[in-house]
Amino acid sequence: MASTQLTCTTLSGSESQALPKKFTNNEMEYKSGFRDLIDITKMYLNADRVEPTPKSALPVMAMTKDELIAEEESVAYRLGHSSVLLKIEQQFVLTDPVFSDRASPVQWAGPKRFHQTPLTIEELPAIDVIVISHDHYDHLDKNAVKKLAAKTSLFLVPLRVGEHLAKWGVPTNKVIELNWWESYVFNGVEYTLTPTQHFSGRTGLDRDQTLWGSWVIAAPSQRVFFSGDSGYFSGFKEIGDKYGPFDLTLIETGAYNEAWSQIHMFPEQSVQAHIDLKGKVMFPIHNSTFDLSIHDWQEPINRAIKTAQEREVQIVMPKMGERLVIGETMPLGYWWE
């Protein structure tokens, strides 16, 4: 195992004190309070939506461990929301694994899944690396992490997110925390945490106490960008200039609204981010699993495709569990219609 710009797997008392009490964005400070919560609640109650959730079952293609292990190409499989299983250099990499029924602190309330995952955690092969973008409930699933700990070699997370994992029983020697622009090399693949424009927190008392970010996954054969959550900002171009071009970009495209446009992109901005990153193929994620805004569930897909076609961007939208060869396109299929 080799590393570059390696941070510690856990933070000692002195190291923890050296970090800021709260992290901030590079280009803007995102603030929201109780009044914003009231306004958002009113928007939800008054929203006139045709189809906030699917009216019929979404197509989900079953996956098997044996097929995944036998796979020889570099591929990507969408499991739901921002959870994508990659096989690169014959290694399994999983992004923001969320397997619970609800993206919520409790499983009896909160946004409920539109579909089941194409396979269960128990059916997954051994995972080499899990990358986490930030600690919001739709990206950091406590129950999933606890189950995945035994079958995962390494968790790569932004600063202080490792404290969550430690509380949930993940061995500290399996967790690497990184700051923006820091990298870690595992089995010949380099992972770099890059900036996003977002925020963090799992309770009303821990706002911005952990870092958030995106991931550059750079293997000898392919480069993949995983956006996590972000508003549109100049950082995408900086990342593209430093690390692009990318064979595949996994770009947040969903859960947007003018009220929080600083920290979530509109689909048209997601396409622009892909262009800034010098991406070859765009894969819109962060949609089609949870109802997290007040747009219809399929609107992000349609808007992203329309813009991509206007701007001659290669865009894919596989079904859940459908095989995608990294760097290649596939027919859109329009399964969401």
Would you give per-residue pLDDT tens digits along the chain (337 residues)? 333 334 333 343 334 458 889 999 999 887 765 566 666 667 777 778 999 999 999 999 999 999 999 999 999 999 999 999 999 999 999 999 999 999 999 999 999 999 999 999 999 999 999 999 999 999 999 999 999 999 999 999 999 999 999 999 999 999 999 999 999 999 999 999 999 999 999 998 999 999 999 999 999 999 999 999 999 999 999 999 999 999 999 999 999 999 999 999 999 999 999 999 999 999 999 999 999 999 999 999 999 999 999 999 999 999 999 999 999 999 999 999 9
Residue 241, classified by CB atoms within 10 Å of its CB into exposed (0-12), middle (13-18) or buried (19+), is exposed
204-247, pLDDT tens digit by residue? 899 999 999 999 999 999 999 999 999 999 999 999 999 999 99
Q: Which two tokens stand for residue 8?
A: 């510690």
Q: What is the pLDDT, as a whole number, of residue 11? A: 42
Beta pairing class for 83-88 and 91-95: antiparallel
Q: What is the pLDDT, as a whole number, of residue 19? A: 87
Q: What is the pLDDT, as a whole number, of residue 47? A: 77
Alpha-carbon dihedral 273, 96, 123, 184, rounded to 10 degrees: 90
Into which CATH architecture does domain 62-325 fall?
4-Layer Sandwich (3.60)
Look-up of token digits 């396979």 = 119
Q: What is the pLDDT, as a whole number, of residue 188? A: 98
CA distance 225 to 301: 19
Q: What is the pLDDT, as a whole number, of residue 31? A: 75
Alpha-carbon dihedral 299, 291, 316, 248, rounded to 10 degrees: 130
CA distance 312 to 275: 10
Q: What is the pLDDT, as a whole number, of residue 332? A: 97
CA distance 7 to 211: 14
CA distance 84 to 89: 16
Comparing CA positions, the residue from 174, 182, 72 lying closest to residue 129 is 174
Domain ranges of the chain: 62-325
Q: Which two tokens stand for residue 221?
A: 């054969």
Q: What is the pLDDT, as a whole number, of residue 16? A: 46
CA-to-CA dists, residue 98 to 47, 109, 160, 223, angstroms: 27, 16, 19, 23
